[in-house]
């Protein structure tokens, strides 16, 4: 059976992109707590007395089964994630091509406006300039919103892969190997000659077998 304490470490393999933020929040909260306590008066006790009810029980090294998983390698090697990145890149390529095309049209219009300065009246020239500036602003806003939509669709698909496929597989491997602790390999330093420590290949293999591709939700504006 899996050590129940493994549930406390599993989140290290979940939402891994937010780990630094979570740690920062914990540190900030701890700092606030210490500051607040320093201002509270009243009776205090010695360290020994404060620790009097703390148990001496601890994990036995012989019972501790540890593994490392490299989440960055899973992102780069799993077939479904490769396919997802390709879909994202295709949408981004379409945006770049459209931007290039519309920029050329705007540059041509700008050149025409500059040529007409001596022909048009002041009011007519101002209208053309304002119309041109409106088009530039609209293009910038449109492409920005569509780029954000591409990223949102990509992140949503990533979350689906992690929650519905990757997390259950990691939990299954933890159970099958009877692991008590799994550490994100990006934050671990371990010798390379320890057999069976790194379970990344197991995770990639299992994920490839379970899921080869996932359809990215069509971003807005495409």
Closest CA to 67 of 190, 191, 182: 182
Cα diameter, the chain: 92
Global confidence as pTM: 0.68
Residue 202 CA to residue 210 CA, distance in Å, equals 12
How does pLDDT run along the chain (222 residues), one tens digit per residue? 334 444 444 444 444 444 343 334 333 434 444 444 445 456 788 998 888 888 888 877 777 899 999 999 999 999 999 999 999 999 999 999 999 999 999 999 999 999 888 888 889 999 999 999 999 999 999 999 999 999 999 999 999 999 999 999 999 999 999 999 999 888 777 777 788 889 999 999 999 999 999 999 999 999
- Cβ contacts of 106 within 8 Å, gap of 6 or more: 132, 135, 136, 139
Q: What's the distance, CA 183 to chain centroid?
A: 17
Domain residue extents for the chain? 6-89+155-210
The CA–CA distances, whole Å, from 63 to 5, 143, 190, 214 equal 12, 55, 19, 39
């Amino acid at each position: 059976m899996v050590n129940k304490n493994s549930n406390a470490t599993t989140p290290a393999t979940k939402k891994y992109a937010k780990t630094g933020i979570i740690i920062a929040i914990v540190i900030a909260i701890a700092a606030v707590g210490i500051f607040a306590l320093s201002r509270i008066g009243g009776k205090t006790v010695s360290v020994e007395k404060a620790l009097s009810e703390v148990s001496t029980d601890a994990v036995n090294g012989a019972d501790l089964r540890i593994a490392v998983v490299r989440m960055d390698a899973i992102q780069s090697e799993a077939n479904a994630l490769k396919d997802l990145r390709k879909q994202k890149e295709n949408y981004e390529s379409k945006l770049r091509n459209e931007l290039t095309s519309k920029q050329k049209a705007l540059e041509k219009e700008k050149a025409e406006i500059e040529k007409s300065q001596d022909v048009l009246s002041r009011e007519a020239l101002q209208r053309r300039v304002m119309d041109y500036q409106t088009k530039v602003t609209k293009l910038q806003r449109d492409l920005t919103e569509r780029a954000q939509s591409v990223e949102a669709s990509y992140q949503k698909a990533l979350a689906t892969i992690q929650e519905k496929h990757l997390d259950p597989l990691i939990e299954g491997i933890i159970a099958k190997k009877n692991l008590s602790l799994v550490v994100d390999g990006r934050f671990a330093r371990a010798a390379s000659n320890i057999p069976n420590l790194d379970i990344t290949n197991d995770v990639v293999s299992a994920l490839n077998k379970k899921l080869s591709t996932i359809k990215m939700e069509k971003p807005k504006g495409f």
